[in-house]
Amino acid sequence: MTAAIISPDELAAVLADPHTDADPPVLLDVRWNLGGPPGREEYGRGHLPGAVWIDLETELAGSPGPTGRHPLPSPDVLRDAMRRAGVNDDSRVVVYDGGQGWAAARAWWLLRHAGHEHVRVLDGGLARWNGPLATVDPNPRPGNFTPRYGAMPVLDAEGAARLARDGILLDARAPERYRGENEPIDPAAGHIPGARSAPTASAVGPDGALLPADELAARFTALGVTPTAETGVYCGSGVSAAQQVLALSLVGVRAALYPGSWSEWCADPSRPVAVGPEPG
């Protein structure tokens, strides 16, 4: 497996190197804003040269429903999006968003789950990019990528409950949502009983890049995470949690993602809900 992240300077060097025998990486722009507007207009105002726009809502997620607000897309939907972008089974891929990191991590996780190993996230996103931008949409040759779901561990509601009880289940949402003090999106406030609060924002530095590996390791160790502990992550709808999975991978922990996350969990009123600062 390739490294999970790439710095802006490293990417600029890769794109500028005319002497490599390898094809340049396929660049995917997945800028996205929770609640809208879509990032397509931002893409049109300027994107990495050659980058293809990918819509998180329709190409990296399925239709909202009982399994959450951003369930996994069907393999066919992901296949068509990646082939349109020029992704082959052996392509190197770099994904980026505006800088928050959630959408890029979702794209990274989904491609990894679909069996594509050579995918990296631009650390800090477009906000840390100092190179040129383009406004012309590229027209790449269609790719041949074939997704094969199952390469990354996944949790359903039952699995999340078991992990909260017998392993480590991290809640990547903001602390006030975990505590049940504020819930702006989903129909119930609180957290999965036994889950530990681990806001995604606390894994990111002031420049938008992920913290250094030693700082991430200390953060996760304080939460009870070890390389051998079975660990899973959820958030509101399986997007920001992917950034925690990415951060965990940098310290050698292969964590499971609960794609349905809180939006699926709280949709069933028979499932228990905990409130307050403790796992409960």
Count CB neighbours of 112 within 10 A.
Answer: 20
Q: Active site residue: 119, 203, 235, 245, which one? A: 235
Count CB neighbours of 271 within 10 A.
Answer: 15
**Measured distance CA(215)–CA(86) in Å, rounded:** 36
Q: Residue 235 catalytic? A: yes
Both tokens of 221, joined, read 């160790």
**What 8-state DSSP symbol labels residue 201?**
G
CA–centroid distance for 47 within its chain: 20
Annotated catalytic residues are: 235
